[in-house]
Amino acid sequence: MGMTHIVDRRLNGKNKSAVNRERFLRRYRHHIKKAVSDAVHQRSITDIERGERVSIPTRDIDEPTFHHGQGGHREMVHPGNRDYVTGDRLPKPEGANGQGQGQGQASPDGEGMDEFAFQITQEEFLNFLFDDLELPNLVRKKLKDTETFNYVRSGFSTHGVPAKLDVVRSLRGAHARRLGLGGARKKKIRELEAQLAELRTAPAELDAAFSHEDQIKVLEDEIARLKANVKRIPFIDEIDLRYRQHLRQPKPATSAVMFCLMDVSGSMTQMHKDTAKRFFILLYLFLKKNYKKIDVVFIRHHTSAKEVDEEEFFYSRETGGTIVSSALKLMHKIIESRYSPAEWNIYAAQASDGDNWNDDSPVCGKLLTDSILPLVQYFAYVEITPQDHQMLWYEYERVQERFPESFAQQQIADPNEIYPVFRQLFERKTA
Amino acid sequence: MSDALDHPSELGRDGLTANAPISTGSEWTFELIGKYDVEIAKCAAEFGLDTYPNQVEVISAEQMMDAYSSVGMPVGYNHWSFGKQFLSTSKGYERGQMGLAYEIVINSDPCIAYLMEENTLPMQALVIAHACYGHNSFFKGNYLFRTWTDASAIIDYLVFARNYVSECEERHGVDAVEAILDSCHALMNYGVDRYKRPAPISAVKEQERQEEREDYLQRRVNDLWRTIPKLDEDEDPIKRKKRYPEEPQENLLYFIEKNAPLLETWQREIVRIVRKLAQYFYPQRQTQVMNEGWATFWHYTLLNRMYEKGLVTDGFMLEFLQSHTAVVYQPPFNSPWYSGINPYTLGFSIFIDLRRICETPTDEDREWFPDIAGTDWVKSLHFAMANFKDESFIQQFLSPKVMRDLKLFAVEDDDLEDSYKVTAIHNEPGYRELREKLARQYNLSYREPNIQVWNVDVRGDRSLMLRHVPVDRVPLGKDTEEVLRHAHRLWGFDVHLESVDEGLLIEEYTCPHQPENS
């Protein structure tokens, strides 16, 4: 008796397996990455609030051991015989897998046993998705020497500008000072006045030496002196003044705006747009991982540009020619009116099939170099075409030479290149 | 704890003891668990169960998953395979497939058993009876456990192993350590001495001797490889025929630890750790039927005894019997749920029948078990528990009645024949044959291919030759090449594996990829 010790371990850490789980994910990161990039193709732009189910072929995670193969002669004992007698012969099923080996042939829920499936969390999902990727180094810098500040109250101070004078505080201080300085004297005055009144009402003394007149005079003088003293206490003094104090706290810019620019002219087919969409999704996911708040601005253009909602952006059809600069101009306008670069990290992704009115391309280059690139963190241009480049591309190449840090362009010929291209654009630069 | 003793006087169900039920609800409290434990312990004492002290740990479902995935080690080194285990356990649990959690009990002193907080009180009592008194007494009483494991030292050793492995990870990188562990795990089942009693595990001694051993090990390995081949010696056919090792070695990991030419000291240590753990788990692998059967028999017997004493209610018994029945259910061979013989069923049936043979023997029993029929059942069961392993236990105690109840039959599968053949069923001429065949099925050396170290080409290319001796022409499975790659990683030079059946070379595997170490 009493040999049993009952312990409550429920409060002990429950994640004893966390390290081992992490080791597992680490070992199979290639498999998981593939599952993750497959999943991206199927998700909508806003559907990122969940993890992902990952399947790995069982043979890849098997731990091999020496064991018996099929063949040879073996005997197994089984339960539940109803009608067999010794010497009965039973036909072997087609493609018999030995027999009676138990596990490994079917699973009760019908799920294939050759897949090992498990769930990864949203965070792990994003980590795998953007493994080795990095927002272009500008952002880091941005976060460090941030340009916006928050002013926060931090008590009161005795110095300050009149605008920050706190009246209540100051008067309260003055009142206290007046009490402090005048209180004792006022008490004294009250006492003296009481004596004075007493003397005045008392019957006159016979002895002149003790004449009330003298005493009254002395008291009256003293009272007058004290009152003058009290009167000299200022109602409010320099030292009573209190000013509200504020501290300047740097505010890291945690919001970002992402501009999606897309050519919707007649030459852009739905296939082009789908490809562009996936690219935008990736960028959105990626920014989402780094910023708390993200605004997305959709700008589509043919010969003129227009700000639209997501639905219209991806699915409405337009025809006509192409003037890329119209979109850039609109973007610049929107930045100026709504997204001050001091508060917003600005990213832009432009997708196009490379078609542009030739005279417009130099305008685009100029717009980018002069007015847009100085304001944005990163501008990525993807050209969705298997064909040769046109004027716009070469113009952008010159832009890239001037802004290698904040501008990049890549070509996508096929939807399955999106992810690699995205990775190239955002690859972690080795310092 | 003393208030469990003063129950109002009222006759129990056995008409002798006078008790009121300990509790009637299904919610558990620590106090109630304590009371149940005291009563179960009393019942266990009535039957002479000898146990290590118990440590009952109440844990949450998540913690239970952790415990499941560390293959019964309360502390373990980190390895991805445990993470894999964890992922599949948690998947099973989330889908509601995870069964009863009374299988986790640790062969240590004190014996650690886990209670899951979600369980009802009857389930907690069931787990206590099953694990804390069933398994616990088995660990303490069975000769394999007594001989091969040291319950008092295992926890310390596990902590030592964990620290050593994580130190190695720091010094040599996670990948290097993982690679060695992978390879050791592949050969883990060949890291045991089957016949020789190993030195007891001790963390302190392990640490003390570690440095000393480092030098020693390296020296030994150097000695073996120092010999510079001399031409005339090599030409001598007798010398050349002398093998190293002279006798085949069954413990591959031991041989590798002591002789692998290129392993660094820390790698040898890791081989040693895995080997020691394999040895620790070896008795469990050989006594699954007995161990589970024994524990199931005792939870059944102890809780029924509680009921006789009036300590538990009818409702308690109904809930208990429901899960007991689920545990000992044996699907027939043609059921979609059939996955071999359920060790709980087989073990439980044998022990229950042993008791019957002792208490109310029939003529058949007297003929089959002359030494046992009519004897004191508690003594006979303890004898059976203490002195056997699955193979010999079945060979010795599987009665015709159990064979009839389970409707056992043996099927022969010969790749030279185009149909299966039923070779024995549960009838008079079949009993002995059936019993022998079932017993053999639990012989580890029949279940696992017989592979031993055959030779090392000490004077030549340093290649390692393993030899597989097939039983009944059963070849090696498809993992063989993969395992050889692991063997090769540990050995550092070519590894060959020959299947030799009665002097005839059947199959040959080689792992000749460019030598790489680590």
Q: Is the dihedral of CA B373, B378, B379, B385 positive or negative?
A: positive
Q: Which of A199-203, A408-412, B377-381, B504-508 has the highest mean pLDDT?
A: B377-381
On whether both A200 and A328 belong to a single domain, the answer is no
Contacts of B476 in chain A (CB under 8 A): 66-69
Band of pLDDT at residue B426, cut at 50, 70 and 90:
very high
Contacts of B302 in chain A (CB under 8 A): none
Contacts of B65 in chain A (CB under 8 A): 17
Cβ pair B30:A6 closer than 8 A: yes
Chain B closest-CA separation from residue A37 CA (Å): 21
Alpha-carbon gap, residue B413 to A74, rounded angstroms: 5
- Residue A349 tokens, joined: 């992704």
Whether residue B268 is predicted with pLDDT greater than 80 in this model: the reply is yes
On whether both A40 and A168 belong to a single domain, the answer is no
On whether both A207 and A351 belong to a single domain, the answer is no
> Residue A263: what pLDDT?
85
> Which of B59, B411, B438 to mutate to test binding with chain A, by most A CBs within 10 Å of its CB?
B411
Nearest CB neighbour to B57, from listed A7, A91, A108: A7
With beta carbons less than 8 A apart as the criterion, state whether A137 and A430 touch: no
Does any domain span residue A23?
yes
On whether both A339 and A231 belong to a single domain, the answer is no
Of A185, A218, A245, which closes a domain?
A: A245
Does any domain span residue A346?
yes
pTM score, whole prediction: 0.70
> Residue A80: what pLDDT?
92
CA angle A355, A358, A360 (to 5 degrees): 95
Nearest CB neighbour to B58, from listed A8, A27, A99: A8
First-to-last alpha carbon distance for chain B, in angstroms, is 57
On whether both A298 and A241 belong to a single domain, the answer is no
Whether residue B120 is predicted with pLDDT greater than 70 in this model: the reply is yes
Whether residue B378 is predicted with pLDDT greater than 90 in this model: the reply is yes
Whether residue B240 is predicted with pLDDT greater than 60 in this model: the reply is no
Total residues found in chain A within this entry: 431
Alpha-carbon gap, residue B340 to B436, rounded angstroms: 17
Band of pLDDT at residue A94, cut at 50, 70 and 90:
low
Q: Identity (one letter) of the amino acid at B95?
A: R
Chain B closest-CA separation from residue A431 CA (Å): 24
Mean pLDDT of B222-237: 54
User: What strands, in cross-sheet order, belong to the sheet with A293-301?
Assistant: A305-308, A293-301, A255-263, A345-352, A378-384, A407-412
Cβ pair A89:B420 closer than 8 A: yes
Of A212, A245, A278, which closes a domain?
A: A245
| Residue that is written with structure tokens 């009838």 in the block | B427
Chain A closest-CA separation from residue B181 CA (Å): 11
Alpha-carbon gap, residue A237 to B309, rounded angstroms: 91
Least confident among A272-281, B14-23, B505-514: B14-23
Q: Which of A310-324, B63-77, B275-289 has the highest mean pLDDT?
A: B275-289
Contacts of B58 in chain A (CB under 8 A): 6-10
Cis peptide before B245, with omega less than 30 degrees from 0? Answer: yes
Whether residue A143 is predicted with pLDDT greater than 50 in this model: the reply is no
Mean pLDDT of B355-376: 95
On whether both A414 and A352 belong to a single domain, the answer is yes
On whether both A230 and A315 belong to a single domain, the answer is no
| Residue that is written with structure tokens 């003594």 in the block | B379
Q: Which long-range contacts (CB under 8 A, 24 or more apart) does A397-401 make?
A: A398/A365, A399/A365, A399/A368, A399/A369, A399/A373
Does any domain span residue A267?
yes
Nearest CB neighbour to B59, from listed A9, A79, A88: A9
- Strand duo B495-501 + B504-511: pairing: antiparallel
Whether residue A128 is predicted with pLDDT greater than 60 in this model: the reply is yes
A390-402 pLDDT, tens digit per residue, is 888 888 888 888 8
> Residue B227: what pLDDT?
55
Q: What's the ipTM? A: 0.84
> Residue B313: what pLDDT?
93
Domain of A211 in residue numbering reads as: 162-245
Band of pLDDT at residue B217, cut at 50, 70 and 90:
low
Whether residue B354 is predicted with pLDDT greater than 90 in this model: the reply is yes
Tell me which of B83 and B201 has the higher pLDDT: B83
Band of pLDDT at residue A358, cut at 50, 70 and 90:
confident
Mean pLDDT of A42-49: 59
Nearest CB neighbour to B411, from listed A3, A65, A78: A78
Cβ pair A81:B414 closer than 8 A: no
How many independent structural domains does chain A possess? Answer: 3
The overall average pLDDT reported for chain A is 78
On whether both A198 and A325 belong to a single domain, the answer is no
Cβ pair A81:B430 closer than 8 A: no
Alpha-carbon gap, residue B453 to B466, rounded angstroms: 5
Does any domain span residue A86?
no
Alpha-carbon gap, residue B210 to B216, rounded angstroms: 10
- Residue A32 tokens, joined: 């998981």
Cβ pair A61:B408 closer than 8 A: no
Whether residue A105 is predicted with pLDDT greater than 60 in this model: the reply is no
On whether both A238 and A387 belong to a single domain, the answer is no
Cβ pair B422:A2 closer than 8 A: no
Contacts of B34 in chain A (CB under 8 A): 4, 6
Total residues found in chain B within this entry: 518
Tell me which of A266 and A330 has the higher pLDDT: A330
Whether residue B397 is predicted with pLDDT greater than 90 in this model: the reply is yes
* SS3 state of residue B382: helix
A179-234 pLDDT, tens digit per residue, is 888 888 888 888 888 888 887 777 766 666 667 777 778 888 888 888 888 888 88
